[in-house]
Amino acid sequence: MAELKSLDSLFKQSLFRIPDYQRGYSWGREQLDAFWGDLINLCKDRSHYTGVLTLNEISPDKVEQDSKEYWLIKDHSYRLYDIVDGQQRLTTFTLFLQAFIELFRDFSANEGKADRNVYLTETLSISDAEEKYLFKEKPKNGFRTYKFGYSDDNPSYEYMRYRILGEEGGGRVPETFYTLNLDNGKRYFKERLRDWTEKDILGLQEIYRKLTQRFLFNKHVINNEFEVYVAFETMNNRGKDLSKLELLKNRLIYLTTLYTDEELDHAERTNLRNLINDAWKEVYSQLGRNKFKPLIDDEFLKAHWMMYFGYSRRRSRDYIKFLLEEQFTPKRVHHEVVQRVGLEEQCPATIMEADDDNGDGTVSGEPMEVAELQPDQISEYVKSLKSSASHWFSTYYPRKCDNLTEEDIEWIERLNRLSMAYFRPLVMAILKKYDDDPVQRIPIFREIERFIFVVFRMSGYRSHYCESEFRGAVHAIDHGDMDLTKLKGLLEERNYFKYEDFHNLLQKKFEEGQGYYDWYGLRYFLYEYELQLRSDSRHDKVVDWDDLKKNPNDKVSIEHIYPQSETDAWELAFRNISEEQRQAYRNSLGNLLVISSAINSSLKNDAFADKKNPKYSPDGSKLRNGYADGSHSEIEVSRYTDWGPRQIRERGIQLLKFMEERWKISFADDQARERLLFIGTHDGEGTDI
């Protein structure tokens, strides 16, 4: 076994770079807790084996003269390494060290002191530690060369320099969920170290010595370029497997190294590699635009696979196997000798660049070597991936996008409130294909929304109903094999609504005692009714959709006007209704109400007259709001004089008529609507269950 090396030894005369095929910093709380636990629990005079650090040494003659590393390599015999495996651990060390340094700077005893006069240990100043582990400054012009960092085109490069390590002049720095991880990691160690300072400074210094001197690595250097990429694919960092998107990037960059110079000269090879890096930079930027709720990269990659290559139920279970083991494989780049006769029939279209010597689609001459997977195929795929990322983001956060109309935004928000399910890739494809044509987009968004609500929320169809058909449409839309008129017709044709399906779905819920209150479509339906009332009103009261989401505390959102727990105040209104029937009234559609966050749970079981109006204290200050101060739906209900069986039926019929008009369905007649209320045909005469 090779000699184990401490961080103190590893960083001597060495520069480490995270290459372009690597992901960003992915460690979260679980991995940081484990790292910190290993550190503080390490016994005195013991060492901790941290694992293998796999590196690829970059030959000095490959380092450009205008690079910031060149002066250290040429004049100071530094060695430059790409990190194949171990970047998460070295990044964590860097975050720890920077947090450690900033903590010492902040001590009141060190206020106003230069870094060279602030000591982390008895003999090591901040300036010494920075030069040893973080950066070297070139004399005269003073620019920094970082001992550990990212390649220039990595999205985290600037964030690490300016936001983590404190270099000045950063300006506005792009942020992604990887940069959020960097920031979280640094804050994590600052909090842990700050807690430790309350114990003693000597203990703090001992933690530093443990990490730099007794965390030991096996240093393994790979010199063969082929082995570098293969090694990267097979290695996982502690507790964090590589994502499929990360593996694919590495694979594509590796494939660029396999083409001959005749197929890709140096400039073309560099251009293709830059294209891949730019695409992934854009993808990660879009996925991480909402840094507190980043999008899942594998979900985007699968959606794009569906759009670019076409959906297959068999392949969808392991689509990455298709990408890595069938489409983008070294075998498809390795060259085969092909006889140049009848080339149209024997070879892929991508090699039909030879002269048609015979004038009949065939050529004659010597055998030729061809790659089945051509560079331009990689290029086109990567361009599509890059251009799709912003549209994928738009399907989640339309209000953060500049290229959408207000009507686009409203319909995409509706789809998100409903849950797009398997329609999200299709929405992405529509946004991409019809990027500058909102007039065509809106009708199809409207039809998708209608399909989801009617088929899944009202009719109760299983979630995979028509899935293959509409996932297949994703590829057809993107490749121009289907236009939106045809797609709209397909949605209308498959949008089966059967009255009895809706009735039976609700009947089961009434039999279980919850009725409409347990209907999955209730919150969306009542919110749409609220929006309709708002559009007809001069007042722009807004109910926040987030208040309507069910959560562990069941945030006040849907109110039973006639309460679930009855008080004497309600007895008179329901004196002719049996207890079993009263339960049906409580959970019938007309008795359920969207309430705004301004109306709190103190309403509870109050009488209707008390619920309608605000309550004041003797001194005139308002204790709580009432329906009259709330949402448009609440205000509408507050106009009723009383609340009982007749009002529940009347409002229920009104809501069902809105449902018919809004989603273009029909319940035939008033009798059919009455059946859907489950409170009988006349007050006091029983229920329909």
104-160 pLDDT, tens digit per residue, is 998 888 888 999 999 998 899 999 999 999 999 988 777 899 999 988 767 788 899
Give pLDDT, residue 234: 59
Which H or E element spans position 668?
Answer: none
CA pair distance 519, 527, nearest whole angstrom: 14
| 333 Cβ contact list (under 8 Å, min separation 6) | 255, 258, 259, 371, 372, 373
- 341 phi, psi to nearest 5 deg: -135, 130
What average pLDDT does the segment 93-113 reach?
A: 92
Burial of 232 (0-12, 13-18, 19+ CB in 10 A): buried
Are 46 and 206 in contact by the 8 Å Cβ rule? The answer is no
- 390 phi, psi to nearest 5 deg: -65, -35
- Pairing mode of beta strands 14-18, 148-150: parallel
pTM above 0.85, yes or no: no
Give pLDDT, residue 136: 93
Give pLDDT, residue 294: 87
Are 89 and 50 in contact by the 8 Å Cβ rule? The answer is yes
What average pLDDT does the segment 482-488 reach?
A: 96
Identify the bridge partners of residue 553 per DSSP, sorted by sequence position: none
Weakest-pLDDT range from 62-66, 98-102, 207-211, 265-269: 62-66
Percentage with pLDDT > 70 across the chain: 85
| 629 Cβ contact list (under 8 Å, min separation 6) | 598, 599, 614
pLDDT band at 519 (very low <50, low <70, confident <90, very high): very high
Weakest-pLDDT range from 311-325, 493-507, 588-602, 632-646: 588-602
Residue that has been written with the tokens 């979900």 in this structure: 299
CA pair distance 382, 249, nearest whole angstrom: 10
What residue spans define the domains of the chain?
Answer: 4-242, 266-328+377-494, 336-370, 506-677
Question: How would you label 578-611 residue by residue, b for 16+ Cβ within 10 Å and e otherwise?
Answer: eeebbbbbbbbbbbbbbbbbbbeeebebbebeeb
Q: Sign of the CA dihedral 231, 237, 241, 246?
A: negative
Residue 237 predicted with pLDDT over 70: no
DSSP three-state, residue 346? helix
Give pLDDT, residue 542: 60
pLDDT band at 203 (very low <50, low <70, confident <90, very high): confident
Which H or E element spans position 5?
Answer: strand 4-6
| 222 Cβ contact list (under 8 Å, min separation 6) | 54, 55, 56, 84, 228, 231
Alpha carbon 49 to chain centroid distance?
35
pLDDT tens digits for range 8-52: 999 999 999 988 777 788 899 999 999 999 998 888 778 998 888
DSSP E strand stretches across 116-244: 135-137, 144-146, 148-150, 215-222
